[in-house]
Amino acid sequence: MRKLLQNQYISFAVLFLLVIFQASICFAEFTIGDEKKLGKEFYDKLEKNHFLLENKRLNDYINKIGNLILAQSKKSPFEFHFSIVNSNGINAFATPGGYIYINKGLINVAENEGELAGVIAHEIGHAHARHVASIIEKSQNLNIATLAAIIAGAFLGGGGEATAAIAAFAVAGSSAMTLKYMREHEEEADRLGIYYLSSAGYYPAAMVDFLKIMKQHEFISKTMPSYLMTHPGTDQRIFYLDGLILTTYRQAGAKNIVGNLKRMQTLISFNDAELDVRYRQQKDALSKNPKDIDLLYALALTEDKLGQTSLALEHFQKALSLSPRDEDVLKNIGLIYLKMGNADLALNYLQRAADSDAHSDEVFLALGKTYFAQGNFQKALENFLKLENITFDDTDINYHIAMAYGKLGNKGEFHYYFGLYLKTAKKKETSLFHFKEALKYYAQGSERIEAINKAIKELESPPAKQPAKK
């Protein structure tokens, strides 16, 4: 059922993309400006429809690797953007205009950072060489809607027959173009990618190692991983890269430069079956490296998600004994004690985590919750307000701010922030009620009155009319 819903969700998103791209522009020559326009519009729709993962820490990690690779390449006419697609499919792709997308499923299967960097380097190679643009340029009479459909069908597909049917319908009657890289494209992207990768300091064979992982997944699952579908000729690519490594890139390199891949992988959500598989893999890996802090941390997080609280705490404490100032470990021990109802002990670990990293949004959130549990609502509010403009994947900070103000008896601020929370939750009528209640507590002309009236106006304004189809 979960997979079916995911397939329907992806299919709906592709269909939505077909509807919103209505501009009837035909490209005799697909210019740099055209690339930027298509890439930006495609990105905006992915973001608007929640196709992109909003985990700040994971996105920062991918951007660090991406910019490290990018620094080794030639100056580009594009401003590059690195994003994570919220899909378990094993895929990565570059769209026109310097937009690089990595599926969270691909991040999860990488065995070291170098492999992940190799994928990113390969995609940067495609972008620099303008491979998608060259395919588009050879086609005739393609409008933005068709181009968007082709990109969505090629790279966001893999979600079942419905997605393929929608994508096929979108291109019917056009130029029968398919967005599939040719062997020359892949070889050029590999040549550029391995140069960028090795220049950044990673070990060159990382690109080959990742392709071999993909082949293993193909063998184990009996289905073709999407990365092999959109980047064809895997065996030939392995032979070609092996030749480059033997003749040109014989130097050693690092498997990890930014670091903490195993920790980053713990930020990716799993269903129960996937968690069980990951748990067995982590236990096996830890038996071979019992003092690996990242493995201890990852295993403890998995145990906590599986409800094995005592084991999780044991492995977190072991990790802490090896790294006493580790902010991640301290924070998670604090959260476990908070969940167990021991706010005093939780506060001890969370304050130590804050001392290790004074700018951690997650620690501020955890501290706010802990002070709230202790009944210290003023200190809770101070921590929550530090996060007022921060977006979390699973937390609306406005809710916590509202609750703290409510406990402190500040009715105006309670109603305002609770209204913001409900507005985000798309509960229009209840949100309007709280905003109108908030108006009673502020003087006319104040900044808060202006903010409340703006929010009310946004809620009461009719939706914008969609332009007529051409």
Indicate whether this model's pTM tops 0.85.
Answer: no
Inter-axis angle of helices 183-199 and 234-247, nearest 10:
40
List the alpha helices (DSSP H) in 71-160: 104-109, 113-129, 131-137, 144-155
Amino acid at 397: I
Q: What's residue 5's pLDDT?
A: 40
Q: What's residue 166's pLDDT?
A: 37
DSSP conformational letter for 95: E
**The two structure tokens encoding residue 429:** 């009528």
Strand partners, 82: 100
Q: What's residue 184's pLDDT?
A: 81
Strand partners, 101: 83, 93
d(C-alpha 93, C-alpha 87), whole Å: 13
Q: What's residue 340's pLDDT?
A: 93
Amino acid at 315: H
Q: What's residue 156's pLDDT?
A: 61
Strand partners, 102: 84, 92
- Which residues in the chain show pLDDT less than 50? 1-27, 158-177, 222, 468-470
Amino acid at 327: E
Q: What's residue 10's pLDDT?
A: 40
d(C-alpha 207, C-alpha 424), whole Å: 42
Q: What's residue 446's pLDDT?
A: 93
**The two structure tokens encoding residue 436:** 């109108």
